[in-house]
Structure 1
């Protein structure tokens, strides 16, 4: 009910789209400025000849008042592609473009008939893509329609950048968000100003910061996007349709690029970190703090050519200035994915990006040193990464495995690729893990994409012989403004081990499909899009699948997503799932008979035959000060034994994931998050597991480079001991060394983090942070919160560049 009331309140206060279509009134000074040439994207004028000035003498201040701008090319005629497709843009946008001897310049006037509605936050770099208005420049410097630079700037000049990589899953999931890797950081300059007619930005991108072919004359792919957050409108200069699988093929072109020189490109980045750790002595009721420890690290980058770069690092720090947000794991059988955050592994590693994680650089836990070579020559893209890792053993001396990652990929046709990957993680000649794979991405009839990956692994450990396994992945997708679908088969043999990757489910075969139809409303309608969809997935044991036996797990889901005017989205869904495990899967599980003996546990599979669930999602981004999302679910599900990976009994419970974002001023922001999961045993109604993770993050931005942040997170995750649902007797896990209770766990962790950060450019930073870890004696009691550890952290680095 609260969801519906919130929707009605937002819609009642919202103007319709027709009102937003009215063009803003411009002053004569803005309207009458001369330019070299005009290119109207809506009329198909998307082949731009780049004007070149030896010394444009542009002072980036967001005013666009330098004489050089009169020599620039003017890009106009934007059109909308979401929520409506192919209609003229609701607001006028003018983009000025020129190049100099060492950089490309953009100047933008983004007009708005409601300047007070422009979303602009003075925030941290790389954080505003889902919150602020922005202008996004796409530069396909190799013009290969596979990969491009994404340079984004908000109305105040705050930066966000990354690499558009076709075939990559977007940050927010498949078919939701562009396929951009936002992790790399490039050095470029920008300024912006909010005016009474909208906003203006100026951008300078040095040639040293990007890669391009070594050619006397070349052309780049060029696209410009504009986002109007309060309305949820996406607009582009070159028209965009969802009727093609590869959006880069729809970009315009930037030609007339002659004799571009990257010049000598050398970066040196020394890093000094210092920490002081403390542990709490409960008896003395005081902290025992270790002496201050410091470390020195060094990163270097050298441009061998304009398209080939060599990187090296010694003792790279993790740069973990913000801990990973807590994830619920009380009923999770498989490894969770965490994003890479270390600078050395972020830049130049796009070649290793694959639809499946055969390469996962966070598997390199504590690198001592590393080297990286990456670039593109003609239609071939190459990448090599080598590192020496340091892995601490439990009560054993630390080991230093050597990691080698090799990747090559060749462009085929207009948008397809064929590649190979090789990974090697070796501690000695008798202990290693090696994976070799071949992959291809084939775009057919512009809208169909077939992705194929085949790989094999060979693993040896001390005291045992080598073990081999295979991996196969097949994906077929259809892109369309209306009917979309995908089919995904992933088969992982029992012996397969991606030691340098992350394949969570080994020994399983998964078949998944999705079908969705998009009904579009008329421009300005209350309902902009109505998308019913159907999902189905099933898991088999690898060998059972090929013997055509029944599945172990299956789920079907029917959902309806409705997008309302002014950036409001509601999803309602119903699910049905089933588990059907074999008796052999429970080998090793026994029941304590209460008389000192044990009997094999025999799970009744009938209760797992049909489990139901309902859920929903609500997203609102139309208000200025408060925005947020709510995801909820009520379901039947299995209580799993996490060691054996099998269902024990049926439980019923709730899921929730809530996030509220507040922006009281342009400098101050706050985020309130809440995650919850529970399951109650249907056999006796008792609580089997529960997780509660509230999180509060507050940040004050003094300037674009300087901010102060505080994070408070409480993580309560509890699992009861496993019992036989028929008798209530404890379950035992038995092996050659005897039997032990399948005990639960109970953790109530409480953490506080503060950070002062100064980062004028990527690589030049000063961090000063303090964290304290505590534990509560009971879930969310806050009566006897006891400290366990604390730490002070500082980091200084400088990026020397020439």
Structure 2
């Protein structure tokens, strides 16, 4: 396999490096950005002389949901730079300013409303772009777009200035982007960047308005940016931020099933963060004694009738900053596994055709997934660990890239080392091939398997899949590989994938919850477009996949078909049908065999998703599913009705109300089995662009029919958590939080909801910039 993959990489490199020319779709026209002395005052009024001398652009193309149609509104853009910052202003005309959808929100939460902004590919190599957006009130959002992974992340936060003002003819936005916030090649005198200037105009449709047309027959979006040139005197200066932090908190917890006596804990900590632009291309981030507690609670999830571990997004700034440098096909770097480090350091950057990311951090304990093919669980070892991730990519050309990735985790009795190679080849504007091959070596503590026995580890029937996979006395190695092919054209798309995670493969710094599993997928779809009716796109799609374990035993076979329509009032609806044949639980838990050791079930489900934002006040979506599903608690086929959704309300310009709900109703053997309900409600009053007051309430209630379970279960269980938070942010690094939270539980052994954890906390950080 290694030889085959190496041969594939050599062949693709040869094809790429002998190509006669770059992609024909690259826009070769250039806009010259003038150098002008003096910084404009950002106040939403274009009265400085620099704006009269700035380069100018007009946004004339509607690229979504329509295909390069004429914009119904005029938007003028003014651009100049002064050697240290890029200044951009937008004059957004509107025939009805009262219809502008603008709200005071926390940064990065303005999407869906009126806003303007820019994409900047500072290396002009169609790999990565910085995005900066501002709404009419001056509220900011910044995003990293990664063409290599096809993902966008708003976890990246830069320090920059903006202002906005609504007027009688629309609104004006001004922004100043310090060049220190972006990596670029300072060695070139005249620098050429890729750029796109954008306006989002939500009315009956959510219009994406651009200065350049978009070719829907080109799957590479960053390849289509306009080129801008200039920045002869651009420098990044020292680009140093020193950020001391102070954390103070008080908490108490108790065992609500035993003594119920409170145990108190005080937390007063001083920490230090350092952000340093070592060169214009490379950035260092370091943290000492950080407080990595969650300022904002995770969105609540339920794990009932689910055999695999839940995934939670990373929210801690040290790990989210420049996280795209560590991305690859497999999720090998999932930093939520690092719970409480005393220190951390990260270096990321790009120079010429080389991209590099390195981070190190310790942890007071060691937490990781124990994966399987029918389920996974979380293991924790009470030993401190050292954690390292290294990512390197070399771009042979704009079409072909090869990368390597390594992760290392080690404690006294445990280690996991992962090393891999991956490649991406843009065969044509429409066709992309990705491949990755990874090897791992793992050593588990001798005692670890005992954490996963149901009762007595000396009795084979009390074993679980996780116990069998951790009952190892020596170090062991495993392999994983994946190959993905995508064809994306204007009217149709096609995909063919093969994934294989060997039974001994582990990626404990990542999120790889399935091993001993090989999956093949074939899928595709077709589009119909329309610009003269209430609908603008219809899509049919589907896929077929099949999965086996390493012994060739069938785990799962699935066929899925969907049809969707997108139309006015920012509406979208999709209906689908799924048929899945898959193995249930193992009848004999002391062996990992599937054939002859599990029942096979056929699930048939109908699914529907709807979404709409009919006006500036209301947004809602809902996913519904009805049909067969395995009852994993009792190893039989049941019938499930499942619905989840989100509702968002903009009450005036300052108040936001958001709610996530879930209802899961399950019957088996013609009797009710369980009913589960979940509500996550968030109320935010945004005083202005810098400060807000937020209340988060999360409540779940599960009711079970004890007579329909083989094993004993609680008839009822409840969880209630709430958090009240005040936040004041001068910028992403200078900020103040104060909050209070409480968590309560209830089950058959309690008479009511009982508080188990309570806390009050405060955090302050201040950034010294040089």
Instruction: Give the alignment's TM-score, normalised by structure 2.
Output: 0.87
For residues 478 and 720 of structure 1, what CA distance do their matches in structure 2 show? 49
From 581, 602, 618, give the equivalent of 2:610.
Answer: 618
C-alpha contact (below 8 Å) 2:583/2:598 kept by paired residues = no
CA deviations over 1:25-60 (Å, ceiling 9, x no partner): xxxxxxxxxxxxxxxxxxx895100111122x4110
2:74 maps to 92
2:536 maps to 528
CA deviations over 1:243-268 (Å, ceiling 9, x no partner): 11210010001112213111111111
Per-residue deviation at 1:580? 4.1
C-alpha contact (below 8 Å) 2:59/2:209 kept by paired residues = no
Tell me if 1:587 matches 2:588: yes
From 656, 664, 674, give the equivalent of 1:669.
Answer: 656
Per-residue deviation at 1:611? 2.4
1:707 maps to 692
Tell me if 1:493 matches 2:499: no
From 100, 108, 111, give the equivalent of 2:93.
Answer: 111
For residues 73 and 145 of structure 1, what CA distance do their matches in structure 2 show? 23
For residues 93 and 543 of structure 1, what CA distance do their matches in structure 2 show? 61
For residues 517 and 706 of structure 2, what CA distance do their matches in structure 1 show? 27
2:678 maps to 693
CA distance change for structure 1 residues 111 and 632 in 2, over 3 Å: closer, same or farther?
Answer: same
For residues 223 and 91 of structure 1, what CA distance do their matches in structure 2 show? 18
C-alpha contact (below 8 Å) 1:144/1:415 kept by paired residues = no
1:410 maps to 394
CA distance change for structure 1 residues 536 and 441 in 2, over 3 Å: closer, same or farther?
Answer: same
Tell me if 1:640 matches 2:632: yes
CA distance change for structure 1 residues 281 and 457 in 2, over 3 Å: closer, same or farther?
Answer: closer
Question: Which secondary structure does the structure 2 equivalent of 1:68 belong to?
Answer: helix
C-alpha contact (below 8 Å) 1:154/1:192 kept by paired residues = yes
Greater shift in the superposed pair: 342-351 or 696-705: 342-351
From 231, 251, 269, give the equivalent of 2:243.
Answer: 269
From 78, 84, 100, give the equivalent of 1:102.
Answer: 84
1:68 maps to 50
CA distance change for structure 1 residues 745 and 297 in 2, over 3 Å: closer, same or farther?
Answer: farther
From 441, 444, 463, give the equivalent of 2:427.
Answer: 444
C-alpha contact (below 8 Å) 1:51/1:73 kept by paired residues = yes
Gaps of 5+ in 1: 1-43, 170-178, 591-599, 642-646, 731-740
CA distance change for structure 1 residues 509 and 503 in 2, over 3 Å: closer, same or farther?
Answer: same
Per-residue deviation at 1:761? 0.2
CA distance change for structure 1 residues 745 and 137 in 2, over 3 Å: closer, same or farther?
Answer: farther
1:221 maps to 194
CA distance change for structure 1 residues 208 and 291 in 2, over 3 Å: closer, same or farther?
Answer: same
For residues 347 and 61 of structure 1, what CA distance do their matches in structure 2 show? 29
Tell me if 1:150 matches 2:131: yes
C-alpha contact (below 8 Å) 1:381/1:408 kept by paired residues = yes
Per-residue deviation at 1:465? 0.9
2:416 maps to 433
For residues 700 and 114 of structure 1, what CA distance do their matches in structure 2 show? 27
2:30 maps to 47
CA deviations over 1:2-25 (Å, ceiling 9, x no partner): xxxxxxxxxxxxxxxxxxxxxxxx
Question: Which secondary structure does the structure 2 equivalent of 1:670 belong to?
Answer: strand
C-alpha contact (below 8 Å) 2:350/2:356 kept by paired residues = yes
Per-residue deviation at 1:524? 3.7
Tell me if 1:716 matches 2:701: yes
Question: Which secondary structure does the structure 1 equivalent of 2:98 belong to?
Answer: helix
Tell me if 1:207 matches 2:179: yes
From 302, 312, 317, give the equivalent of 2:276.
Answer: 302
C-alpha contact (below 8 Å) 1:330/1:690 kept by paired residues = no
C-alpha contact (below 8 Å) 2:622/2:646 kept by paired residues = yes
CA distance change for structure 1 residues 719 and 555 in 2, over 3 Å: closer, same or farther?
Answer: farther
CA distance change for structure 1 residues 632 and 203 in 2, over 3 Å: closer, same or farther?
Answer: same
C-alpha contact (below 8 Å) 1:349/1:374 kept by paired residues = no
Per-residue deviation at 1:755? 0.3
Greater shift in the superposed pair: 632-641 or 782-791: 782-791
From 230, 234, 243, give the equivalent of 1:260.
Answer: 234
Per-residue deviation at 1:709? 0.4
For residues 715 and 283 of structure 1, what CA distance do their matches in structure 2 show? 20
Aligned length: 705
1:552 maps to 555
CA distance change for structure 1 residues 528 and 395 in 2, over 3 Å: closer, same or farther?
Answer: closer
2:728 maps to 758
C-alpha contact (below 8 Å) 1:603/1:648 kept by paired residues = no
CA distance change for structure 1 residues 391 and 146 in 2, over 3 Å: closer, same or farther?
Answer: same
CA distance change for structure 1 residues 257 and 282 in 2, over 3 Å: closer, same or farther?
Answer: closer
CA distance change for structure 1 residues 395 and 791 in 2, over 3 Å: closer, same or farther?
Answer: same
Question: Which secondary structure does the structure 1 equivalent of 2:475 belong to?
Answer: strand
Tell me if 1:793 matches 2:766: no
1:537 maps to 545
Per-residue deviation at 1:535? 2.5
Tell me if 1:470 matches 2:479: yes
Tell me if 1:768 matches 2:738: yes
C-alpha contact (below 8 Å) 1:386/1:403 kept by paired residues = yes
Per-residue deviation at 1:202? 0.2
C-alpha contact (below 8 Å) 2:431/2:485 kept by paired residues = yes
For residues 792 and 166 of structure 1, what CA distance do their matches in structure 2 show? 42
C-alpha contact (below 8 Å) 2:587/2:598 kept by paired residues = no
Question: Which secondary structure does the structure 2 equivalent of 1:518 belong to?
Answer: strand
2:164 maps to 192
C-alpha contact (below 8 Å) 1:317/1:342 kept by paired residues = no
Per-residue deviation at 1:512? 2.6
C-alpha contact (below 8 Å) 1:473/1:488 kept by paired residues = yes
For residues 722 and 577 of structure 1, what CA distance do their matches in structure 2 show? 28
Gaps of 5+ in 2: 1-26, 368-377, 447-472
Question: Which secondary structure does the structure 2 equivalent of 1:465 belong to?
Answer: coil
Per-residue deviation at 1:722? 10
Tell me if 1:234 matches 2:208: yes
Per-residue deviation at 1:331? 1.7
CA distance change for structure 1 residues 299 and 604 in 2, over 3 Å: closer, same or farther?
Answer: closer
1:32 maps to none
C-alpha contact (below 8 Å) 2:482/2:500 kept by paired residues = yes
